[in-house]
Amino acid sequence: NGMTVRVSFNVNGRRTTLEIDARASLLDMLRERLGLVGAKKGCDHGQCGACTVLMEGRRVVSCLTMAAKADGRDVTTIEGIAGPDALHPMQQAFIDHDALQCGYCTPGQIMAAISCVREGHASTPEQIKEYMSGNICRCGAYAGIVAAIEQAAPRIERS
Ligand code: FES
Ligand code: FES
């Protein structure tokens, strides 16, 4: 029996309080305790980006982020970005540019892509590639991903 801690945080705008194992990752808390399975467990070692979510508006690899660190913070997952009537502009751009094949890496790619634009790293394809280099796509959809980010960038506010 490991030590448990209480985490109270906002996930996709909803206040949530949980008792969790003190060593649990944010990824496991999202997937196993909250049923938010959009973020994927690819490598579980910080090397593929499939688990990318936003914490306080900035991207984090949730497999390497302690769940306890979410306490008092805002977390956004792929499940929380679409509007009531429309996809998020980045989701739409991924569809428009065929920026996915199997889709496994896509939630992480989209969350990183939003962060790429908000942090001001989407001015050139080179900048985008550099920022997105931690998000691996085994299907090789990279060209579409860069094109999608270029399309969505003007529709997303910078932070
Ligand atoms: Fe987190 Fe691969 S599952 S980086
Ligand atoms: Fe298959 Fe990226 S779309 S891994």
Distance of CA 27 to the CA centre of its chain: 10
Residue with tokens 């977390």: 75
CATH number at residue 103: 1.10.150.120
Answer whether 134 contacts ligand 1 (Cβ < 6 A): no
User: Same domain for 69 and 114?
Assistant: no
User: Same domain for 62 and 95?
Assistant: no
Q: Which of 125, 90, 126 is nearest to 108 (CA)?
A: 90
Rounded-to-integer distance, Cα 63 and Cα 69, Å:
12
User: Same domain for 99 and 133?
Assistant: yes
User: Same domain for 69 and 96?
Assistant: no
CATH number at residue 48: 3.10.20.30
pTM metric for this prediction: 0.96
Distance of CA 47 to the CA centre of its chain: 14
In this structure, which amino acid lies at residue 21? Answer: D
Answer whether 46 contacts ligand 1 (Cβ < 6 A): yes
User: Same domain for 60 and 93?
Assistant: no
Q: What is the pLDDT of residue 158?
A: 78
Q: What is the pLDDT of residue 21?
A: 96
Consecutive sets of 10 residues in the chain, 159 residues long: mean pLDDT of each?
91 98 97 98 98 97 98 98 96 98 98 98 98 98 98 89
Are 78 and 90 in contact, with CB atoms under 8 Å apart?
A: no
Print the SS3 string covering 9-69.
EEECCEEEEEEEECCCEHHHHHHHHCCCCCCCCCCCCCCCCCCEEEECCEEEECCCCEHHH
User: Into how many domains does the chain fold?
Assistant: 2
Q: How far apart are the first and last CA of the chain?
A: 42
User: Same domain for 102 and 66?
Assistant: no
Residue ending a domain, choose from 52, 80, 108: 80
Residue with tokens 């070692």: 45
User: Same domain for 69 and 113?
Assistant: no
Residue ending a domain, choose from 53, 80, 107: 80
User: Same domain for 52 and 26?
Assistant: yes
Residue ending a domain, choose from 50, 80, 110: 80
In this structure, which amino acid lies at residue 144? Answer: G
Mutate to test the pocket of ligand 2, among 100, 111, 145 (most ligand atoms within 8 A of CB): 100
What range defines the domain where residue 26 resides? 4-80
Q: What is the pLDDT of residue 86?
A: 96
Q: What is the pLDDT of residue 2?
A: 76
ipTM above 0.95, yes or no: yes
Listing DSSP states for 107-134 in one string gives HHHHHHHHHHHHTT--SSHHHHHHHGGG
Q: What is the pLDDT of residue 157?
A: 82
Mutate to test the pocket of ligand 2, among 51, 52, 98, 102 (most ligand atoms within 8 A of CB): 102
Mutate to test the pocket of ligand 2, among 43, 97, 98, 105 (most ligand atoms within 8 A of CB): 105
Q: How far apart are the CA of 134 and the centre of ligand 1, in A?
A: 9
User: Same domain for 19 and 73?
Assistant: yes
User: Same domain for 72 and 118?
Assistant: no
User: Same domain for 69 and 52?
Assistant: yes
